[in-house]
Amino acid sequence: MSIIAWIVVGIIAGFIAEKITGRNHGLLTNLIVGIIGAFVGGFLASLLGFSYSQGFNLASIVVATIGAVVFVWILGLIQGRRGR
């Protein structure tokens, strides 16, 4: 996938994950969360045996969004433990 497609998918996935989790991030944080989410989601999809065509498509956005939600959830767990 081209770098521009990664950025666009990352922003979209980060924005959707932000809305799902009820967090309030900026554009840069959404981009970072979305790109990390794409890696996490791709890893989880491969572990579960799912295959999809990579690139700028709905499947990539869904996988990246699921990964971003998982990533934000894990961060919340880590931050919750530090605050105690």
pLDDT tens per residue across span 2-30: 778 878 888 899 999 999 998 887 888 88
Residue from 2, 1, 3, 35 nearest 17 by CA:
35
Q: Name the percent of the chain lying above pLDDT 90.
A: 27
Domain that holds residue 23: 3-82
3-state secondary structure of 54: coil
pTM: 0.83
Q: Which of 6-15, 49-58, 72-81 has the lowest mean pLDDT?
A: 49-58
Mean of pLDDT values over 50-66 = 85
Total domain count, the chain: 1
**pLDDT of residue 32 exceeding 60:** yes
**pLDDT of residue 74 exceeding 70:** yes
Distance separating alpha carbons of residues 16 and 79, to the nearest angstrom: 21
